[in-house]
Amino acid sequence: MFVLQPCAPVFHTLPTSISGQSNKYTLFLDAGTPRRARCSSRLYSHVTRVRSKNKQPQMEMNGFDATGGGEMEDEDDVSWRGGGFGGREGEEKDYDRDPEFAEILGSCLDDPDKARAKMEERLRKKRNKILHTKTGSPDPMQVKFNKFDFTNSYIWLEFYNAPLEKDVSLICDTIRSWHIVGRLGGCNSMNMQLSQSLLDKRPTYDAIQGANVTPTTFYNIGDLELQDNLARIWVDIGTSEPLLLDILINALTQISSDYVGIKQVMFGGSEFGNWRENLKSEDAGYSIHKI
């Protein structure tokens, strides 16, 4: 006849199989025993990562130790080593302090407008490091005209957000290509023999007619200026050739849909939005890009 002491924990054995091996050393306390009770023996199992000859990670039971004494460890106190739970032991990320951000937070209660201005300036300076989950815009790009003169006018662009460096590079390459094709006379609506021919017949081209058409040449173009989410470029197209404008609008429409959202394009006008003529500082968000 066995007599169990009230303070003595009751143990049960549970067969455990890890990595294809049978192990009967897994012990656990009865449900009636307090979780962090003091016992005369300390039971724990240490799980380690081992690698076989083919370098495939496996988990195996390393054994147990019942000779020590002390307090039972909580599940949250167990440190998993070598696994994907806590990473390597002692490996922690040391984040540097940001005095600029601390100053912004400190001024939120005293001067909210000043804190907001500093935050906007911080975002403007570091916008190239911000990841955008979506670049294009599903909304159609608006096109407007404001006393546009083919010989002397600005073309204005308004983006939904301040464009990144790669977006500005794409816009510059598009405008540069548009200018080159126009300067070489490639956008002449007076010579569109193939687009005006019937589709059910074999295309033919009259070289004499094409050579005698009055040429259209893109005279001159300025550099792309940028202020936050606004951009402008000066053009001197020379001749009133609407085909040139159609080609640019089609290209910008595709860019707005797939790459960087353009809210609207304005042809003509000396003022647009909150553009400031006296703003020429890069720290304030102004930049100029060669075409």
* Domains detected in the chain: 11-77 (no CATH), 97-130 (no CATH), 135-190+214-271+281-289 (3.30.70)
* SS3 annotation, the chain: CCCCCCCCCCEEECCEEECCEEECCCEEECCCCCCCCEECCCCCEEEEEEECCCCCEEEEEEEECCCCCEECCCHHHCCCCCCCCCCCCCCCCCCCCCHHHHHHHHCCCCCHHHHHHHHHHHHHHCHHHCCCCCCCCCCCCEEEECCCCCCCEEEEEEECCCCCHHHHHHHHHHHHHHHHHHHCCCCCCCCCCCCCCCCCCCCCCCHHHHHHCCCCCCCEECCEEEECCEEEEEEECCCCCHHHHHHHHHHHHHHHHHCCCEEEEEECCCCCCCCCCCCCCCCCCEEEECC
pLDDT confidence of residue 226: 95
Render the burial of 92-113: b for 16+ CB within 10 Å, e for the rest.
Answer: eeeeeeeeeeeebeebeeeeee
Find tokens 């390459």 and name the residue: 173
- Averages of pLDDT over runs of 10 residues in the chain (291 residues) are 51 46 44 44 40 43 44 45 44 55 71 81 68 72 95 96 91 96 92 85 90 90 95 94 95 95 95 90 87 92
- Integer Cα distance of 233 and 155 in angstroms: 5
Taking the whole predicted model, whether its pTM rises above 0.85 is answered as: no
* Backbone dihedral angles phi then psi of residue 245, each to the nearest 5 degrees: -70, -40
Q: For the chain, state the CA radius of gyration.
A: 36
Q: Which two tokens stand for residue 36?
A: 């962090």
Residue pair 11/29 in contact (Cβ under 8 Å)? The answer is yes
Find tokens 């404008």 and name the residue: 245
| 222: exposed, middle or buried (Cβ count in 10 Å: 0-12, 13-18, 19+) | middle
pLDDT confidence of residue 215: 87
pLDDT confidence of residue 127: 64
pLDDT confidence of residue 281: 83
Q: Which two tokens stand for residue 26?
A: 């897994």
pLDDT confidence of residue 32: 47
